[in-house]
């Protein structure tokens, strides 16, 4: 869509998809063409800005998620440390403690 040079002249065309075909439509009036062109440019710029802000926002959410994961992993490490210090051990992915020959497990 936009200005096209045909047979030495500069003409403004809009493009529209009809089914599987793309149809070019000539915009006759010069004023309308200039106005339409600037209007389309604005829309394009707005879309670009919106796309960039969405990407930035997604990156922010990913950073927040990464931060949370780090905190969860820290808590997990401290949990493991505490349980080991208190005499627990891991057996087949469950924590157990030997207590007078009796085993507590979760």
Partner 1 sequence: MATKPKPKAKAVVDRAEALKQAVAAIEVMDATPEARARARKLMTENGDMWRASYEVADGALVVWIEAMQATGLTKELYTLECKRLKQELLTDKDGPLEKLLIGQVVLAWVRLMYIDQFYTAVFSGKEGVTFERGMFWERRLTLAQKRFDQATVSLARVRRLLQGPQAPKNLNLAIFNQQAVSSAYDRRR
Q: Which of 84, 93, 100, 101 binds partner 1 (CB under 8 A)?
A: 84
- Note whether 49 binds partner 1 by CB under 8 A: no
Nearer to partner 1, 23 or 74 (CB): 74
Stretch that binds partner 1, among 9-17, 30-38, 40-48, 73-81 (CB under 8 A): 73-81
- Note whether 103 binds partner 1 by CB under 8 A: no
Phi then psi for residue 89, to 5 deg, are: -145, 165
DSSP secondary structure letters along 71-106: HHHHHHHHHHHHHHHTTEEEETTEEEEEETTEEEE-
User: What is the C-alpha to C-alpha distance for residues 56 and 67, in angstroms, rounded to an integer?
Assistant: 17
Q: Which residues bind partner 1 (CB under 8 A)?
A: 54-56, 58-61, 63-90, 95, 97, 104, 106
């Amino acid at each position: 869509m936009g200005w096209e040079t045909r047979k030495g002249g500069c003409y403004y065309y809009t493009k529209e998809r009809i089914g599987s075909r793309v149809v070019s439509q000539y915009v006759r009036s010069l004023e309308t063409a200039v106005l339409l062109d600037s209007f389309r440019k604005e829309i394009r710029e707005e879309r670009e800005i919106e796309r960039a802000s969405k990407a930035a926002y997604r990156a922010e959410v990913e950073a927040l998620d990464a931060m949370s994961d780090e905190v969860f992993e820290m808590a997990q490490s401290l949990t493991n440390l505490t349980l080991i210090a208190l005499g627990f051990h891991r057996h087949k992915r469950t924590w157990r403690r030997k207590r007078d020959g009796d085993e507590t497990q979760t």
